[in-house]
Amino acid sequence: MRLHRFIITSCVALIIGATTSNYSLIAQRPMGIAGLADNTEYQELMRHNSELSDSIDSLTYVMNDVRNNLRDRWDSGVERTSEQRDSISKLIIGLEQRIFDLRDERGIVTNRINSIEQEWVLSQFNNPSPTPVEDSWADPIEESVVVATNYRNLIDNSCFTEEMSAADYTMLRRAHAAESEISEKIAEYLSRHESMRNVAEEYMTTDSEVTADSLYTAFETLKQHNEAMNNYIEALWHEIIDTKQYSFSYVLEKKQQHELLDRMTEEFAAMQRAYGDYEDYYASNAIMHYAIGHPTLLDTELSIARAMDISAAADSLSTVAKSLQMPEYRIEDIELEIRLFIDYEPIIFGKTSFYNNTNPIPQLKVYERGTIYRILLGRFRSMQNLTIFKGVQPLYIVREDNMYSYYAGGYATLTEADEAAQMLRNKGFRAPQVCRWEDGTMTNLTKEAEGGESKDKPAETTANDNVRYMVEIASDSISGDVQATIEAVAPGKRISRAGNKFVVGPFVERSEANTLVDSLKAMFEELEVTTKEISLN
């Protein structure tokens, strides 16, 4: 709780601090197109965009500070309880979700800002003295004299405004404006990628299956968002490159700058070959394309500015080139391996009274993912006296096909399960069967193996109108416990004396008779019990 209060207090303090300082910061930030200074909606959107950016930065700082604190305490050997770790994990996930919501809101605001700017550009297209658009990515430089064809923004100059059609020039301006958007989208992708890494680390260390499921869901959500973001960045970058390559080629051809045009074509071809060298090698092809391609694009724009003798644009682009920092694209793809919280428990023999009314046999748990082997001890029409299982632990029960099935143990491998089945046979269990659950689906491996040997064994599940089965008990007398077991396993069957033996039946199915035989042998080792076939012909 102390850490929780610290985080909430820090969030509030940082957000309030960021909000109160917004108006002093706004004066220092470029407010976009100077010609839209009187557009109330545009200026309000710009202010709101700044506020959203400050809030995102503040929450990101708090979240990173919490993570660093957790790592420092982990490295120093300070341990927290499982409940504390789960609580902190949920808090971090909540902070991340809030950050992503703010970024989505900022994306909506940015799209509206871009729409207003594009409408303004179209309205000013035929203006003989257009107001130059400030480059959001370029550092401001002082200009003593600004002439109509010497704007800092390359595409504001007459070689583009006068040589290109209105439709083509609009497409060029849209592509140019998208370069600032693509930088923001890449920053979002990288931030979310770091969150995926942190969630993956927490997922692999939590002791709680419930928390692990929540973290896995959060990871998959982050992954889906980044996959969509990667596709968006990819499409946006290709639009920028294709539009600018076409526009530059068109202008250079009209200006008869053939040498520069050939060099640009070669450099763009080399850029495409470089893409191929790293394709699908890192987490994001889109960011790799941008990081490799943007310097090529910037170099081309600088060459055009110099060739066209646009000194203001050349100076601006040179400044950008010197301070250019490309995003780190060499990031590995994060794959989260599903953890299996399966309880593997070997069979032990304890007191026969381990399970009772206050500690009943638990219901069999079926895991949706993973593999576990258990031993089937028997299937009965009614619930059994627990003494027949000779103190086997752990024991599980499940109702299947109107029968009660009793399973024991839980093993990770078939070899371990086979060894357990042999141990049970050595203890007097007549027919323990190895069963496997794989992603929630059960297969009786023992029965499956017997199916391959059906030529040597009579079918136990096929009724024959001319055959009945009896269970013979070689004994001069039978105790009340034996009679109770017969009644529980084969209710309604007659017990008759035949010489120095007792017979129980008749049974239509051999499997029914065999079930009684197995139950009697498991509970009363001294009894000699067999299944006898009787022909009605």
- Residue 303 banded pLDDT, cuts 50, 70, 90: very high
> In this structure, are 333 and 352 located in the same domain?
no
pLDDT computed for residue 44 by the predictor: 84
Q: In this structure, what is the dihedral angle of CA atoms 144, 147, 151, 156, given to the nearest 10 degrees? A: 160
> In this structure, are 328 and 396 located in the same domain?
no
SS3 label, residue 375: strand
> In this structure, are 404 and 436 located in the same domain?
yes
User: Is 417 a residue whose pLDDT tops 80?
Assistant: yes
- Residue 315 banded pLDDT, cuts 50, 70, 90: very high
What distance in Å separates the CA atoms of residue 183 and residue 194, rounded to the nearest whole number? 17
pLDDT tens for each residue of 5-37: 444 444 444 433 443 333 333 333 434 566 677
* 410, 432, 456 - which closes a domain: 456
pLDDT tens for each residue of 240-252: 999 999 999 999 9
Q: Which of 250, 228, 109 is CA-nearest to residue 169?
A: 250
Say if 187 falls within a structural domain: no
* 68, 103, 134 - which closes a domain: 134
Q: Is the whole model's pTM more than 0.85, yes or no?
A: no
User: Is 283 a residue whose pLDDT tops 80?
Assistant: yes
Average pLDDT over residues 321-327: 85
Q: Which of 396, 395, 434, 394 is CA-nearest to residue 418?
A: 434
Amino acid at 289: H
Tokens for 260, please give them: 């520069």
> Between these two residues, 95 and 241, which has the higher pLDDT value?
241
Say if 493 falls within a structural domain: yes
Which of 76-90, 144-158, 326-340, 349-363 has the highest average model confidence (pLDDT)? 326-340
> In this structure, are 472 and 452 located in the same domain?
no
- Residues of the chain above pLDDT 70, percent: 78
Task: Please answer whether residues 192 and 226 qualify as being in contact, where contact means their C-beta atoms are separated by less than 8 angstroms.
Answer: yes
> In this structure, are 441 and 370 located in the same domain?
yes
pLDDT computed for residue 172 by the predictor: 92
pLDDT computed for residue 441 by the predictor: 93
Average pLDDT over residues 298-309: 93
pLDDT tens for each residue of 135-177: 444 444 344 333 446 888 999 999 999 989 998 999 999 999 8
* 100, 134, 168 - which closes a domain: 134
> In this structure, are 9 and 110 located in the same domain?
yes
> In this structure, are 360 and 294 located in the same domain?
no
Say if 206 falls within a structural domain: no
Range of the domain at 109: 1-134
Question: How many domains does the chain contain in total?
Answer: 4
CATH of the domain at 386: 3.30.70.1070
Q: Residue written as tokens 């700058």?
A: 257
